[in-house]
């Protein structure tokens, strides 16, 4: 077995026994990146030298300290290029940050570095995480490892593709409206969007500040759980991060029916006309399997679901238009010269932002402008409250809600090229969790006729990540979809 095929637990066992070193593990991933990433384009920046130095540090730490049990020590990690890492470029997939090197590290990354993880590099993303396909990156699209003609999803498409192609065992992403879960689904890996406020946003370049969360990709719920626990928790540098105890997720399962006592809701609003038939059937089959594992399946309703899409596409662009105001050619990145301050702003922003970022800035500025604020942004906030209440109400009846991650499997590159609305519809099942602030977990539950992975989503109550991870772990112990490998060599 190749070192890049190891799960986190397997790698850790071999590291602890001294049968492999972190340098060897890291080297194996760097070699696979060198061999395959030309075709995939999942990385925007690979730091081979830095990674090997960190790996040597981890090997040294393991030799000299009694830290052998730290589960992430010496394990490689890929980081979406919207999280800053001191010493590495951060572009957010945008020309407006080309060449920018931040002088600090995001708290989530810094915590994982402290746990001994080895940063391989930065992964491709839609510009400022705006998109569902990675096609909005100014640096070229990432290809789906299951079919190179298709998108990996987005916006964290680089991280999802890297994990699916075994270029990295684990990766970080960000999820504002589905950007961890939808690419996880398209690439057949496990991806967690934690509760809003669970993981510090410090050092995550802001898109929609009331929706953004830092999430993780891995090849199993068990692997994702380790990263989730290590990066979570209150951070003084992010006032919205919550001081809630971080669980060490208990994944021990008992007996044939480990999900006994777990109530799983099936919301009727998420099984609507227009979903690809194979997506619906794979998800329904997975729900039956959860029932077989002991869970009680209960039909539920989230009645305001249909408003999530328009509400999100007012709130997210509104917040984005304010957040992106800082990119003016003066403070960060390249500058297009002009004959006045305004001239510099206009030219730099006009030339360096791509079409989707520009569209969002215009939509958001309009939604926030005098005379329209109440009608658009204010109204959207009110409906957001109703969506949040739907979830609060449902979680008095069930422990988790199960549904598709996205209405389709991975689509062809260019398929939604001139139709932003078709692209926005990809997020119809993932946006509600961000509007409500609840956690969501995506994991593979089958394939369609073209051999493309289908993902299922579990959403849970605020700070209920452990329950979602446990349910997915029970499913993964009983099935092997998550072990299937994209045929890319």
Catalytic residue numbers, as ranges: 80, 155, 179
> Is position 21 an interface residue for ligand GLN (rule: CB under 6 A)?
no
Distance, in Å, from the CA atom of 59 to the CA atom of 437, rounded to the nearest integer, reads 39
- Let me know: does 484 contact 454? Beta carbons within 8 Å: no
Q: Show the tokens assigned to 119.
A: 């940063």
Size (the chain), residues: 489
Stretch that binds ligand GLN, among 127-135, 255-263, 402-410, 447-455 (CB under 6 A): 127-135
Stretch that binds ligand GLN, among 168-176, 259-267, 459-467, 473-481 (CB under 6 A): 168-176
Q: Which residue number, 134 or 241, has a Cβ lying nearer to ligand GLN?
A: 134
Q: Which residue number, 42 or 132, has a Cβ lying nearer to ligand GLN?
A: 132
Pick one of 179, 185, 195, 409: the residue that binds ligand GLN (CB under 6 A).
Answer: 179
Q: Which residue number, 91 or 174, has a Cβ lying nearer to ligand GLN?
A: 174
* Per-residue interface string for the shown chain with ligand GLN, residues 292-331, x marking contact by CB under 6 A: ------------------------x---------------
Stretch that binds ligand GLN, among 129-137, 268-276, 402-410, 440-448 (CB under 6 A): 129-137
Interaction residues for ligand GLN, span 427-446 (CB under 6 A): 427
- Let me know: does 413 contact 151? Beta carbons within 8 Å: yes
- Strand arrangement, sheet containing 43-46: 43-46, 118-123, 76-80, 171-175, 213-218, 190-193, 440-447, 453-459, 400-404, 263-267, 296-300
Among residues 164, 211, 214, the alpha carbon closest in space to that of 184 is found at 164
* Per-residue interface string for the shown chain with ligand GLN, residues 181-220, x marking contact by CB under 6 A: --------------------------x-------------
Stretch that binds ligand GLN, among 172-180, 284-292, 300-308, 344-352 (CB under 6 A): 172-180
> Is position 176 an interface residue for ligand GLN (rule: CB under 6 A)?
yes
Among residues 263, 257, 171, the alpha carbon closest in space to that of 218 is found at 171
Distance, in Å, from the CA atom of 455 to the CA atom of 191, rounded to the nearest integer, reads 10
Distance, in Å, from the CA atom of 422 to the CA atom of 313, rounded to the nearest integer, reads 13
Q: Show the tokens assigned to 98.
A: 């080309």
Pick one of 102, 131, 407, 467: the residue that binds ligand GLN (CB under 6 A).
Answer: 131
Q: Minimum CB separation from ligand GLN for residue 263, in Å? A: 28
Pick one of 12, 110, 124, 155: the residue that binds ligand GLN (CB under 6 A).
Answer: 155
Q: Where are the beta strands (DSSP E) in 268-354?
A: 296-300
> Is position 135 an interface residue for ligand GLN (rule: CB under 6 A)?
no
DSSP string over 249-261: ------SS-TTTT
- Let me know: does 253 contact 473? Beta carbons within 8 Å: yes
* Interface positions with ligand GLN (CB under 6 A): 129-132, 155, 174-179, 207, 316, 427
């Amino acid at each position: 077995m190749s070192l890049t095929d190891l799960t986190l637990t397997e790698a850790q066992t071999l590291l602890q026994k001294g049968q492999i070193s972190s340098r060897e593990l890291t080297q194996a991933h760097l070699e696979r990146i060198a061999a395959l990433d030309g075709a995939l384009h999942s990385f925007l920046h690979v730091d081979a030298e830095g990674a090997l130095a960190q790996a040597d540090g981890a090997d040294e730490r393991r030799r000299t300290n009694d830290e052998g049990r730290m589960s992430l020590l010496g394990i490689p990690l890929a980081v979406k290029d919207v999280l800053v890492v001191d010493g590495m470029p951060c572009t957010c997939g945008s020309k407006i940050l080309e060449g920018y090197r931040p002088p600090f590290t995001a708290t989530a990354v810094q915590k994982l570095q402290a746990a001994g993880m080895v940063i391989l590099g930065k992964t491709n993303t839609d510009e400022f995480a705006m998109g569902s396909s990675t096609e909005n990156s100014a640096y070229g699209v990432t290809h789906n490892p299951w079919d190179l003609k298709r998108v990996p999803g987005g916006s964290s498409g680089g991280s999802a593709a890297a994990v699916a192609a075994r270029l990295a065992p684990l990766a970080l992403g960000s999820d504002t409206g589905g950007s961890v879960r939808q690419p996880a689904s398209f690439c057949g890996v496990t991806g967690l969007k934690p509760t809003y406020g669970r993981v510090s946003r410090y050092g995550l370049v802001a898109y929609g500040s009331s929706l953004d969360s830092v999430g993780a990709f891995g090849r199993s719920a068990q692997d994702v759980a380790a990263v989730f626990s290590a990066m979570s928790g209150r951070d003084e540098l992010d006032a919205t991060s919550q001081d809630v105890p971080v669980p060490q997720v208990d994944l021990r399962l008992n007996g044939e029916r480990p999900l006994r006592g777990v109530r799983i809701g099936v919301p009727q609003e998420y099984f609507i006309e227009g979903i690809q038939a194979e997506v619906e059937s794979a998800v329904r089959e997975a729900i039956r399997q959860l029932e077989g594992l002991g869970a009680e399946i209960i039909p539920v309703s989230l009645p305001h679901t249909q408003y999530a899409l328009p509400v999100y596409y007012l709130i997210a662009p509104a917040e984005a238009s304010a957040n992106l105001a800082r990119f003016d050619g003066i403070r960060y990145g390249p500058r297009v010269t002009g004959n006045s301050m305004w001239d510099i702003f206009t030219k730099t922003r006009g030339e360096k932002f791509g079409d989707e970022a520009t569209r969002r800035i215009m939509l958001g500025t309009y939604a926030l402008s005098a005379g329209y604020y109440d009608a658009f942004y204010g109204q959207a906030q009110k409906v957001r409250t109703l969506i949040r209440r739907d979830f609060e109400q449902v979680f008095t009846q069930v422990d988790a809600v199960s549904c598709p991650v996205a209405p389709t499997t991975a689509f062809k590159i260019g398929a939604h090229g001139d139709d932003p609305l078709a692209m926005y519809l990809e997020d119809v099942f993932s946006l509600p969790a961000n509007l409500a602030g609840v956690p969501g977990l995506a994991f593979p539950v089958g394939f369609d006729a073209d051999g493309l992975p289908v993902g299922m989503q579990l959403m849970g109550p605020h700070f209920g990540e452990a329950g979602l991870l446990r349910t997915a772990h029970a499913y993964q112990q009983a099935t092997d979809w998550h072990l299937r490998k994209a045929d890319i060599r």
